[in-house]
Every structure is written in structure tokens, then in C-alpha cells.
Amino acid sequence: MLYFCRTTKIDCFFNSSFYVMNKHSLLSAKAAMLSFCFLFSALVANAQGDPGTDDDGFIVSIVSPPSIAKYISNGFLDCGWVGTSGFGPDVTEELCGEVVWAPDSLACSPLPAGSLEGKIALIRRGACGFSLKIYHAQQAGAKAVIILNHYANPLDGPCEARIDASTYFGGMSGLDSASAVTIPAIFLQRLTGEEIDGALKAGETVEVCFVFPRFTQAWAAYSYAVPASQVDTLGAMVVNFINRDNNVVDNLVIKVDIQGPNGYSESFEALQDPIDPGAELLVGFGEFYVPPAVPGEYTATFSSNLYTEGRDTLTRKFVVTDYTYALDNLNLRLDGGAALNTDFANGGFQYQTAALYFTGDAGAVATHATFGIANIDSVYVPGGDDETNAVFVFLFDGDSDEDGAINLSGGFNSIESDVVAIGTYIMKGGEQEDKLIDVALEDFFEPGQAPVLKPNHPYYLSLKYDGINNGSGRCIAFTNTANESYLVINGGSTSPIFIGQYYGGGWSDRTIVQRLQLEGYTSSAKPEPKLSADKFSITPNPGNEYVYLNLDLESTNKQVVVSLFDMGSQPVRQSVVSNIQEGQIRFDVKDLPVGTYIMTIRTDEGVAVQKVVVLH
């Protein structure tokens, strides 16, 4: 079972007409039609009547003055807005108004009657609850409210959109007077707030609109970064169109323009059948498109012949690398992640993430996993043994039965026994959020060898942190990136974080850095010494009642730590022996279920990882 340290709401839209999505035979038309779940949370939220100004599908348009005019999207774009509140109304139609400061910019006390009549009120965060501020503006005649962020600490940047001390990109909670709020409210990061405030101080009129774009939820690739040797069909290059007109839309041509390094350019167009009012259409472009295997950044711009406003043009990027797979956008977000310790405790102190990557026609050899730790001071235990300070890395086969579908019918439990490679990182205590860590991957079936990946095949790279072993009670925060969308494919997200269901939005717009490196990648990590195979043996294997680790080391080792894990990476046995050179360590396995287990052996002379089979 995988648990996330923070929950995030996500709704899914099932489009039965969609059939172009495929990864060779991996995603059949039927599977795509039945289980391709896109993140149309805004539309579904409206349909379900969810309370609050919560992902209603609109974007913010600063109409005037021209010097600061722009569109601001909720998530996936730099300096987006946190347009959510757990109270107030849905936004169901476009809303525009002049923006003015509330007479008391904190609005924690009642405001003069009529002082905000017909205006959009600008209010600073702080000193009292969000809902109370909004209610006071409402009572003064405001039609909507924009709450502006402040700098909470020296690490906060102008694009920071923190709601409270522990939540990034979360919703405004309702406290006093929440049930009485009848106007919408959003929360803007500091940069836009400073731009609006500057225009107001200059005597300019600021007009802001909440508008609904016709193009939503565009993707360009299965993963943001893919190695050049694995470049393949971009079956994930899609965009969703919504007919927001009151009339049938005819002769609509939707297109994507792709720009890349060295002047590379490619364009695709698709003429659409007539589209009824309110109807949605998912359009795919990449079924037969293979980008060049040339390292560099590529930009896909989605637009149309009929709608040319900025709100109706979307861009997405992907990168071709030398050896690196990545779901993150290769830009680290240095704000400590979003780990909530209460959710971690409720989840049994277990935290595991995973990232889905597809190989190309050539297959590959994987060598390393790359990630970072953002809160080492919270989770590192000085003087703790290796298991206490361990982060485990697993590479899972996403389609072990090779039936062409990702094996997630039973959630992540469906693939947790399909380990193909493993690695272990022992925290040192000095890790920095902006310094990524490389961990060598070792083939589970051929210890000492790098795993060979099948062609045209899905693999899940997974990071596992065991808070029970650690004992700190604190959830690890892995280094993350911001403003990068990612897919939900065949019922499983490309960056799943599992806590009873899959969340395609991670920490709203955050993605954990968990990169898969291929052969040729130059690692900064010093290779961990391997324990020679002639220094240990495991007997019997398979074992029935007992399994013995037999040691014949070069010299007396100060400490030997041996752990036995099940295929869900849960520790089931551990033994710590001091001052040992030769001897035998016994493990009682009578009560363990029949199956395959992983034994890690850590000595002063090196480390070994071996399979152990229990067979009663």
C-alpha cells in the first residue's frame, strides 16, 4: 500500500469517444475509452455542485491597464493563482469588475456600507480568517474578492502561493461567516499583487475578469523528459476543447505547432465535425508523431482558427535528454515540499511514491534513480542504524503479464510483487534540497548487474520511506518541482501518489523529483561497495521454518545489519549483530506467508541484496 503525506482532491472526466491514445499495443482503444481519466476537475465539480470557489474552470484575466495585462491560470503555469476556497459559490459564468483596495486592506473589521459596491475587492491576507475578510467585503457591496499573499519567510519568492504554514497550493479554509459568503474569492501570489498595487498607486484603473477558456488540459508527452534513445510515438499529445458558445461550432480547425532545437518545426491540423453547445472534444495529435531524437527542449502550442484570444492558446513543453527520464520539469522548487505529518501518521507511517516511464523500441539499461530530500533535519536520526535512515528505491514492471495493459486493476498492490530492480540510500544528515542524490539500481534477479528494460514497456520507479523504522514521526519531503502537469493513463497516473486512490494532481501542481537514469549517465555518487558473494550464503533457500545467513568475512566487523522485506517493501525481520567475522544469523520464517522476500545485508566490507523464498 502506498501512502501520501497529504491528500488532494481530483475528479476525473471519462470521454467515451476518445480512442487515439496508445503506446503501441499498450493502450488499446477499448482500454483508453473505458479508463483514460483526464483531470477535468473543474467541469465535474460544477456538475456535482461542489461547494466553494474550487477549480471551477475559469482563469483570471487582467484586462487593464495594458502594462500588466495577462492571463493567469490555476496551476501548471509560473505564478499561477490558488483559485480555491472551501466556501462561497461556484463561478458558472464570466465575471468582470474594477479592482480596488478595501478601505481597510486586512478587512478584519466591518467595512463602510457601499464602499465596495460593484467592485472586486483587493484584500491582504493575515490577522483573521479568509472567510471573515470576504464576508466583510461582501457586506460592503463587493462582487468578488482577491486575497493577496505576503512573504511569510525569507525563502518565499514573488510567485509563492502559500496558504498557511504547512500547506502549499491548498484551498482557503472557511472559518467565521463562511456559510454567509455568497461571492467568489481567489488567492493570488505576491508578484501579481505587487503589479496590481503598482498600477493602482499610479492612478490607473485595474479591470480583472474571471473567464472560461475553450482549450483545457493539454499534454505533450508521457513524461516531461525522455532519453534520446527512447524517443517514440507521442500518443499523449492531446488537448480538450469545450464549446462555450450558444451555437454549434462548425469548421473548427484545431492545431498544434511544435518548435524544437536547431530551428526544428512541425505542425499538425485537425478539422472537427460540428460541435454542439456545451460539448467537449478531446483531440489527439501524437498517435503517429515521433519527435526527432535530438536533445533539447520542445514546445507544443495548441490553438485554433476560430478562437485567437490568449486564453484559448495553450503551450506544453517536453525535453529530449541524453540519458534521463523525468516527470518533473527539471527545475527544482525549493520550498520544502508538502509533507503533512498528521496524514503520514494516519497512513501508518508509510510513504511511497512512483513515476511511470515508457521505454522505446530499443529497450534500455537503467543504472540510477535520482531524487532529493527537502527536510533532512526533520527525518535524519543521528546515531541511527542503516534501516532507521534508509530510503528504498524500487523499479517495478508495470506490465509483468505482458497483456498490453498497465497492471493497476487492484491499485498499486497489483504490481508491488513485480520488482525488477532495487537500490538503497542511507541518509547522512547533510543532504540539501537542491543537491540531488543518485542511487545505483541493481537487478533483482541478477545481483550486481544493472537492470535491462524491455522495449515498449512500462516501468514504475518508486521511492519508499518507512517511518516506523525511522521513528521520528515525521514524513519525508522529497525535492519537487512546480507547475508541471502529468497524465493519468489507463487508470493509473504517471506520477501516482497512492492513498486509497490515484491523484493526478500531486500537491496541486507539484511533482516529486524521481528520475530514472539510463546507461551512459555519469553519476556524482560514489558507488557503494558490494559484499563479495564468497563472503556469505543463505540456506536453505527456499526456506520452510528457518532461513540462515552464513557469514565468512575478512575481519571482525563492528556491526552487521540484516533485514528481510516483503515485496511491498515492508520490513518483516531484522537482526543487528556486533563484532562478528564468522557465524550464522537465523531468521524464523514459519509464520511468514509463502512468497518472495528481499534480504539486505550491510557490513563494514560491503552491501549485498538477495532474494529469499519462503515455501511451506
Radius of gyration for the chain, computed over Cα atoms and rounded to the nearest angstrom: 27
Q: Alpha helix locations (H) across 451-562?
A: 467-470
| C-beta of residue 379 within 8 angstroms of C-beta of residue 405 | no
Amino acid (1-letter code) at residue 307 = Y
Residues 463, 469, 473, 479, Cα dihedral to 10°: -20
Cell of 223: 513524461
| C-beta of residue 176 within 8 angstroms of C-beta of residue 108 | no
Q: How far apart are the first and last CA of the chain?
A: 25
SS3 95: strand
The rounded distance, in Å, linking the Cα atoms of 206 and 63 is 7
How many residues appear in the chain?
616
Give mean pLDDT, residues 331-338: 66
Q: What angle do CA 315, 193, 50 make, to 5 degrees?
A: 65
CATH of domain 58-211: 3.50.30.30
Give the residue among 602, 600, 584, 606 at the shortest CA–CA distance from 540. 584
pLDDT tens for 263-298 read 999 999 989 999 999 898 888 887 778 999 999 999
Name the fold adopted by 13-36+214-324. Immunoglobulin-like (2.60.40)
Q: What angle do CA 416, 421, 422 make, to 5 degrees?
A: 85
Given a cut of 60, is residue 133 above it in pLDDT? yes
Q: Residue 162 half-sphere exposure, CB side, CA atoms within 13 Å?
A: 18
Given a cut of 70, is residue 168 above it in pLDDT? no
The rounded distance, in Å, linking the Cα atoms of 337 and 334 is 8
Place of cell 532507521: 388
The rounded distance, in Å, linking the Cα atoms of 194 and 213 is 25
Q: Which CATH number fits domain 533-614: 1.20.140.10, 3.40.50.720, 3.20.20.120, 2.60.40.3080?
A: 2.60.40.3080
Q: 383 CB contacts (<8 Å, ≥6 apart)? A: none
pLDDT tens for 83-117 read 667 788 888 889 999 999 999 999 999 999 999 99
SS3 601: strand
pLDDT at 51: 64
Looking at 48-62, 444-458, 550-564, 581-595, which range is the least confident one? 48-62
| C-beta of residue 300 within 8 angstroms of C-beta of residue 317 | yes
| C-beta of residue 599 within 8 angstroms of C-beta of residue 549 | yes
pLDDT at 79: 64
* CA dist list (Å): 349 to 48, 522, 600: 33, 34, 21
Given a cut of 90, is residue 570 above it in pLDDT? no
| C-beta of residue 79 within 8 angstroms of C-beta of residue 159 | yes
SS3 319: strand
Given a cut of 50, is residue 2 above it in pLDDT? no
Given a cut of 80, is residue 328 above it in pLDDT? yes
Mean pLDDT score across all residues of the chain = 79
pLDDT at 75: 53
> The pTM is what?
0.78
Q: 110 CB contacts (<8 Å, ≥6 apart)? A: 136, 139, 140
pLDDT at 398: 87
pLDDT at 574: 83
Instruction: Please tell me if the domain spanning 13-36+214-324 has the same topology as the one spanning 533-614.
Output: yes
pLDDT at 74: 64
Give mean pLDDT, residues 30-56: 37
Helices vs strands, H then E, count in the chain: 7, 39
Structural domain boundaries in the chain: 13-36+214-324, 58-211, 327-518, 533-614
227 vs 90, higher pLDDT: 227
pLDDT band at 65 (very low <50, low <70, confident <90, very high): very high
DSSP secondary structure letter of residue 222 = S
pLDDT at 505: 34
